[in-house]
Amino acid sequence: MNLHIESIGSGPDIVLLHGWAMHSGMWRDVSDHLAQHFRLHLVDLPGHGFSRNSSPAHAPGSQSATLEGMAEMLADVLPASFIVCGWSLGGQVAIELALREPLRVRKLALISTTPCFVRHSDWQWGMEAATLQLFTENLKRDYSVTMKRFLTLQISGGGSGTASALVQLRKSLFERSKPDDAALEAGLQILLSSDLRGKIRNIRQPVLLFQGENDVITHPDAARWMNQQLKNSELIMLPGCGHAPFLSYPDRFVTAMLRLAHPLTYGH
């Protein structure tokens, strides 16, 4: 499969991974600023955005239907050394990539990420599986309406910048074709089944955790839990912020990425 990757800017290599049902255009409002300092690689994950028509194979059992498979695909086409930044589901892909390529992935930024999206008896900071299933059924029935509701949910809990963040999300999302149905279904199965809690402590690289304290999709306490598990991590918890903190606080996000890449220059 040929993944669509747009590379812009110059400097240390940073790979940006979007969330489920999205595409790399969602980063546009911060990518121009980041590209002044970094060489950015904006990836459309399999079946999403401009990677939508790269291959018909997104069925269960295909390489792109698992976190491990997506990490393997990315490893084949990414630079020799890079920082990886993943949002939501993209954060889980970033974790897998860091575990698979510990010498190539220098550092991680996990944006609104959780090791486990679904609630379990020993994990209270997840969503009910039935909620995810219902969402996917609605997505198949009416993609546009359901995604507009999903975007509204993503900025739920935000402060004064909520309205502008929602406008940005909607504008960016519908600039590209909707993900193919098989990719959406494969993504749902990843959301339902992925559980990285047992792997997370094996990450040795420095990690930035960037989280909205009012996120209703990935619980803030999941980020706090990861912060405890990851010995070399920094948690930035943003007040009055939902699931898209890099849009609600773009300047803080860019500053945090600069500090992650250049701690001696941009440190506290």
Active site residue: 24, 31, 62, 88, which one?
A: 88
Q: In what order do the strands lie in the sheet with 105-111?
A: 4-9, 39-44, 13-17, 82-87, 105-111, 207-212, 233-238
Is 13 marked active-site?
Answer: no
> What is the number of other CB atoms lying within 10 angstroms of the CB of residue 56?
11
Count of helix runs (H) and strand runs (E) in the chain: 11, 7
Residues 5 and 188: their CA atoms lie apart, in Å, by 23
Nearest CA among 126, 180, 150, 125 for reference residue 244? 150
Q: Out of 4, 18, 23, 243, pick the active-site residue.
A: 243
Q: Which of 24, 215, 219, 248 is catalytic?
A: 215
**Is 215 noted as a catalytic residue in this protein?**
yes
User: Alpha carbon 178 to chain centroid distance?
Assistant: 17
**Nearest in space to 195 (alpha carbons), one of 136, 116, 133:** 116
Question: Phi and psi (nearest 5°) for 12?
Answer: -60, 145
Catalytic residues: 88, 215, 243
